[in-house]
Amino acid sequence: MKMILVIVHDEDSHNLIRELSEKDYGVTKLSSTGGFLKMGNTTLLIGVPSEEVQGVLDIIEKTCKTHKEMVSPTPIMGDTGYVPIPMEVNVGGATVFVLDVSQHHKF
């Protein structure tokens, strides 16, 4: 048994959850924030038998693509007279961890 922990951009999470659900993979969704610019993320927990990991990874790779977006960073503290300059950053994609599960119980 494996636990696949996936951190995706909020915009990608809806399509990914739909694709996984269509293939009968159970998904637990957690809202999270982090990374550069503190953009909204979604963390997904997916428990699968070891032989199904590649199928889940294929869906994630197909669904979660990075793309470039223009953003204006905001000052961290108050009005500093700083005028934010928009910059292009990569957003989207997925960070995936595949973890061994020593026990699995469903009560």
Q: What is the mean pLDDT of residues 36-58?
A: 88
Joined tokens for residue 95? 């960070």
Domains of the chain, by residue range, sit at 2-75+84-100
Q: Is 10 left (phi over 0), alpha (psi -120 to 50) or beta?
A: alpha
Query: What is 2-75+84-100's CATH number?
Result: 3.30.70.120
Q: Which residues does residue 94 pair with via DSSP β-bridges, in sequence order?
A: 8
* Separate counts of helices (H) and strands (E) for the chain: 2, 6
Per residue in 68-105, pLDDT (tens digit) is: 766 666 655 555 666 667 776 666 789 999 999 999 88
Percent pLDDT > 70 in the chain is 74
Joined tokens for residue 42? 């979604």
Residue 91: per-residue pLDDT: 65
Question: CB of 93 within 8 A of CB of 7?
Answer: no
